Structure 1
Amino acid sequence: MLVASMAAFHSRFLFPVLSASLAVAMLGAPSHARVMPFDPADRSRDFLSLQDRRPLVQPALDALNAGRLDEAASIAAALISPGTAPDIVAVARDVIGTVLFQKGQPDAAAKEFELSLAANPNQFTAMTKLGLIAFDQGRMQDAESFARKALAIQPLNPIASRLLGSILEEKNDVDAAIAAYEAGAGDTPSTELKVALGSLYNQRGRFADTLRLVGKTPQAGDDWRLLFVTGVAQVGAGQAAAALASLDAARSAQPDDQNIALAQAIAQRRAGRLDEAVANLEKLTASKPDFTAALQELGIAYLARQEPDKARVALEKAAAQKPRESAAQRDLGRAMAMAGDIDGAARLLKEMIARPNATLADVSLFAAVLENNGQFGDAEQAYRDALKRFPGPASSARLASNLALQQKYADARVVISDGLAKTPDDPGLLNMASLVAQREGRMADAIASAKKLAALAPSAPQPLLLLASLTQASGDAAQAAVLYRSLLERAPDHPVALNNLAALLTASGDITEAVALATRARAVAPQNAAVADTLGAALLKANRPADAVVAMKAALELQPDDPERRYRLALAQEAAGQTKEALENVRGALAQPDFPNAAAARALQARLGAKP
């Protein structure tokens, strides 16, 4: 493009700061100001048609692009005379305006750009740069007007597209900003563009789009902003291990960035590294007590560690800072319920759902608290009221779930059928149709619904997990293993798929791979008792009883009141020659005699008691 160097504006224009929110989708950008995504390569675009007159202006452009500002201005000024063609005058004024801007004279530069447009109203580069100056001065309405006029002249103007995206982002018109950035992305988007557009994709929960835009996963040493945006997308996409690698690298480059610290803590929590998450969040909230999102995430991390009293303290602080924000109220209600204050939680949530700005999520949590307190009928009424207030498949699916909990399967089928008649491809309703069919023993129908659900979202892990689980429950272990492997190709760190496939392979005798998969699952989900138990079972079958005891002890520590866990530890201890310990644990298990392997536990007790 015969521009009066768009690239010369590269370092002058900053994005507005985006603050982080608790939700991963809202962790759009680092807390530092971001450079507007103007790529120096844009200088080479040629949208003007000066034909044989190009040599007249090229020396000025070359001098400008080489940073020889005074020379560029001098050459351009010499071109301005009454006999010079208007389009040449327009480019010359454009050059002079850019020089003035680079010398810190934006008002004088704007006058030159206006003269450029007077000479040639189609000099869209001058129009664009007037928009850039307005943006830099905070005159957003003028900036938007200039950007739209420039795009009307030349729709393939990437700088104007990105400028418009920045303006729309400032106005919080996220979807329109995304469209503008996409229009300016081109085939090889710059890092700045990837950061800006990826941030907005993340805000909208479009994590796959962010990862597609970024392309090759950035590594330590790459631009920290790109590492951050990629890490947030990886968290949202369920790639916890990859997210931690990206966010750890971003944190190393920017150790004081609070948004990166928050995203890192969320990734740690989702990866099961709860102690690290809590430690990071306690430090973060101590340094910045008014960081509501961090307080809220700290409360959630405490809940994950089964520490509802600590969670309540953190969430009460978050709710006090933003008393009208539903997310903080919801989590506070959850903490109160976990702490045993069911009535208090119900009162808080009932008050919240009475507000005009209440959401279906608010009603769902209120109903869940009622369900956990055994008030299924009251919860059902809450869901029926929600269906009237928020008509749609999501409300239908929640009501169907409540009815299934009450074993009102016929009523649940009616709600699901009515919902699917209006939205036949709704994932939530198809999921409930599958689960209700499973509860009723209609496995063929359950699998058929799950297959339809998986076909609607072929890249999503959850539908495939449902299909694999149902296939496993139907007794088709070989096909279930195929489905789990397919899931792991899409989400290599998926703990349930790793665990379940390991269990299947343990049963089929493929012990080497079973131990490897179970070990991976344990690394991804170290706080999950079932995962530790699966590893123990695989190690036991691999004739490694001492290692199996370690894994089974970890499972029992995570669920100390589960007689099944204690019985399975006793089995491993028997194999390891730890007869006394095994007998002690099997007796402890049989103190709660009603569990699936109680008969086998009694046989183990008799066998152990007979040993010297």
Structure 2
Amino acid sequence: MKRARTRPRRKDGRHGPARVDRHAAADPEMLIHQAADLMKIGRLAEAEATYGYLVALEPTHVDAHYQLGDLLWQQGKPLAAAAMFEEVAALQPNHPTVQHRLGLALAATDRLTEAVVAFRKAIAGNPASAEACLELGNALKRLGRDKAAAAAFRDAIAISPNYAAAHYNLGVSLRAEGRLDEAMLSYRTAIACKPDLPEAHYNLGNILRALDRKDEAVASYRAAIAHRPNFAEAHYNLGNALWALGRLEEAVASYRQATVLKPDHAEAHNNLGVTLKSLGRLAEAVAALRKAIAIKPTYVAALDTLGYVLKSQRRLTEAEQLYRRALDLDPAHMNALEGLAGALMDQGKLEEAKGCLERILAVKPDDPEAFSGLCKIKEQTCDWRDRDAEFARLMEITNRQLAAGERTALTSFRALSRPLSEAQNLAIARSWANYTERQVDPLRSSAAFSFFRGRRDRLRIGYLSCDFFHHPTAHLIQGLFGLHDRDGFEVFVYSYGKDDGSSYRRRIAA
């Protein structure tokens, strides 16, 4: 006859769960109740010991094995939980709940093939279990079996049409198969079922960005962040979408937030640096790029970009070192090789620069920048061999770039020393003007400047140069500014060079 359930008296005289006396309390039902009570008040280690004692006492006690497995699972011990659920499954092989829990534990320990078997058994025992179909799909997805996973998710949806997780996971599998339109529909359905599902908004944003629907992607990333403000990857990809739209200040804010939430996010630091570079905020760009490299020393793209920024600041030795580090990691990195060639040329190391350009041309024979740079070095070193053939080839490349609407590798300044027509010089100059306009376009929103093009009595002319000091350009051009008809022209001079206080500078300013 079973004894009635009682609460043992504790040594302190109070009633309540206490450590089990295994010699006095050997009744299985008594032990089950005691373990349950211990769990309720958070004394999990004692509950685990009680269940363990009962399992040793009654090796075929199904409920004890199951409860112990459940307790181990709750404590984050999937290996031990899997072992216990396997024992339960051996005792009751066709019980769908047992197979489901076994499948979860096996999946958590990366025994995915066995987990698939367990989930299939769970579904066979309970065909109406949408959860088992979902977990089967998850295991198949992790095994790389996307089509089979999609079928399992569809089974879950057939059972429970408003199952947001199933719609979302179906979208993940469809995207892995490259079926972006179908994946997008699945994510939208998941959001309709559960609007506060940040992962669905985020992945929808990724697809919209891949489809070049950048404005919609921005909205999706913002929705993901609204539901999970600390979603670092959503902030990062929002920055990417804003950057693609030319909204650089907003992109900076998004990248910064991504780095706050995830300080070791090297890509976010890198993209922040790239964006700051585009905004002309070079000191900040250097700091961001150095952070990316500190996190990920083998980050070739960050090394290359930092080299570019330092080269722009005329810190040529540092730039050269960075380009060399990038090339040590990836000898075939063409941007770094081109950057190194430029840094070497600016330092007068022409033979080394020539070697870099020849390496590029060995891989990309028609690379415009490399070929134009090589021609320049050969001119500077008075190497006239094959000059006519090389000039013909340079013009062939230049004409191809003009036809494609690209900025020419041959600069408008160097073109003036070539035997070109006025029309050719104008076309080359326009390609550079258009390129410059595209480069500064993102800065206009932050310039707080409104330009009104209207009729004026005088034509306004602006001269822009970094050479308004004791320099050959100033020597040659200083007299020009006094020759303009002031009744017909309004003249401005914009200097982005140094003020050396020379007579040339003072005369031009006057």
Given the two structures, how large is their TM-score scaled by the length of structure 1?
0.46
Are the counterparts in 2 of residues 265 and 276 from structure 1 also a CA contact under 8 Å? yes
Letter in 2 for 1:355: R
The answer to whether the 8 Å contact 1:165/1:181 transfers is yes
Task: Report the counterpart of residue 166 of structure 2 in structure 1.
Answer: 126
CA contact 1:315–1:332 (8 Å) conserved in 2: yes
CA contact (8 A) 1:97 1:111 kept: yes
The letter of the residue matching 2:303 is A
Match among 262, 266, 274 for residue 308 of structure 2: 266
Q: Which residue of 2 aligns with 1:213?
A: 254
1:149-188 pair list within 5 angstroms: 149-151=186-188, 154=191, 158-166=198-206, 173=211, 175-176=212-213, 179-180=216-217, 182-186=219-223, 187=226, 188=229
Task: Name which of 420, 424, 435 aligns with 2:462.
Answer: 435
Counterpart-to-counterpart distance in 1, 2:350 and 2:428 = 28
Does the aligned pair in 1 maintain the 2:204–2:220 contact within 8 Å? no
**CA offsets per residue over residues 255-308 of structure 1, 9 Å max, x none?**
122222212212221232110111221343245331111111112222333444
For the aligned residue pairs, the C-alpha RMSD in angstroms reads 5.1
User: Which residue in the other structure is 1:230 paired with?
Assistant: 272
Q: Does 1:249 align with 2:249?
A: no
C-alpha displacement at 1:251, in angstroms?
Answer: 1.3
Distance in 1, Cα, partners of 2:246 & 2:162: 39
Q: Given residue 184 of structure 2, which amino acid in structure 1 is its aligned partner?
A: A
Asked if the contact 1:368/1:379 (under 8 Å) is kept, the reply is no
- Is the CA contact (8 Å cut-off) linking 1:97 and 1:110 kept in structure 2? yes
Q: How far apart, in 2, do the equivalents of 1:433 and 1:347 lie? A: 39
CA contact (8 A) 1:201 1:209 kept: yes
Structure-2 change in CA distance of 1:178 and 1:292 (3 Å): farther
Following TM superposition, by how much is the alpha carbon of 1:442 offset from its aligned partner in structure 2, in angstroms? 5.4
CA distance in 1, matches of 2:151, 2:408: 57
CA apart distance, 1:330: 4.7
Specify whether residues 183 and 357 from structure 1 end up closer, same or farther in structure 2 by C-alpha distance, changes over 3 A only: farther
Whether the aligned pair in 1 keeps the contact of 2:369 and 2:409 (CA below 8 Å) is no
**Cα distance 1:119–1:234, how it changes in 2: closer, same or farther (>3 A)?**
same
Q: Secondary structure of 1:382's partner?
A: helix
Match in the other structure for 2:355:
313
Q: Report if aligned partners of 2:242, 2:248 keep a CA contact under 8 Å in 1.
A: yes
Equivalents in 2 of 1:393, 1:265: separation in Å? 25
Contact 1:299-1:314 within 8 A present in 2 as well: yes
Work out which of the residue numbers 223, 235, 248 in structure 2 matches 1:194. 235
Give matches, 1:189-588, under 5 Å: 190-199=231-240, 202=243, 207-215=248-256, 218=259, 222-333=264-375, 335-336=377-378, 346-355=391-400, 358-363=403-408, 365=410, 367-371=412-416, 373=417, 378=420, 380-384=422-426, 394=434, 434-435=461-462, 440=484, 496=496, 530=498
Matched position secondary structure for 1:365:
coil
Q: 1:117 corresponds to which residue?
A: 157
Residues 278, 301 of structure 1: 8 Å contact kept? yes
Q: Deviations over 1:61-85 (max 9, x none)?
A: xx99989798894499699968x7x
Q: 1:243 to 1:96 in 2, by over 3 A?
A: same
Residues 371-390 of structure 1 show CA distances to partners (whole Å, capped at 9, x for unaligned) of 2x276xx3531145579x98
Query: Is contact 1:218-1:227 (8 Å) kept?
Result: yes
Alignment-mate amino acid for residue 273 of structure 2: G
Q: Offset at 1:125?
A: 3.2
Aligned with 2:185 (options 148, 151, 155): 148
Give me the whole-angstrom Cα distance separating, in 1, the residues matched to 2:219 and 2:380. Answer: 45
**Is the Cα contact below 8 Å between 2:251 and 2:275 reproduced in 1?**
yes
Separation (CA, whole Å) in 1 of partners of 2:220 and 2:188 = 10
Match for 1:249: what amino acid? Answer: K
Identify if the C-alpha distance between structure 1 residues 162 and 348 changes in structure 2 by more than 3 Å, giving closer, same or farther: farther
TM-score by length of 2: 0.54
Structure 2: distance between partners of 1:242 and 1:261 = 15
* Unpaired runs of at least 5, structure 1: 1-59, 399-423, 427-431, 448-466, 474-495, 500-529, 538-563, 565-594, 600-612
For 2:400, what is the secondary structure of its paired residue? coil
Residue deviations 1:380-417 (CA, integer Å, cap 9, x gap): 31145579x98x9939999xxxxxxxxxxxxxxxxxxx
- Distance (Å, rounded) in 2 between the aligned partners of 1:357 and 1:598: 40
Contact 1:127 1:147 in 2 (8 A): no
SS in 1 for 2:415: helix
User: RCO higher in 1 or 2 (8 Å CA, sep ≥ 6)?
Assistant: 1
Preserved contact between residue 350 and residue 366 of structure 1 (Cα < 8 Å): no
Residue in structure 2 matched with residue 477 of structure 1 by the alignment: none
* Cα distance change on mapping 1:195 and 1:242 into 2, 3 Å: same
Q: Distance in 2 between matches of 1:321 and 1:154?
A: 48
Q: How far 1:215 moved relative to its partner?
A: 3.9
Deviations along 1:191-223, one digit per CA (max 9) or x if unpaired, are: 223334434655676543320322459489543
Q: Which whole-Å CA distance do the structure 2 matches of 1:278 and 1:124 have between them?
A: 53
Contact 1:165 1:180 survives alignment (8 Å) = yes
- CA separation in 1, counterparts of 2:346 and 2:245? 25
For residue 369 of structure 1, report the CA deviation from its aligned partner: 1.9
After superposition, the Cα gap between the structure-2 partners of 1:276 and 1:93, relative to the gap in structure 1 and judged at 3 Å, is same
Q: Secondary structure at the match of 1:435?
A: strand
Q: 1:127 and 1:298 mapped to 2: Cα distance?
A: 50
Name the structure with the higher helix share. 1
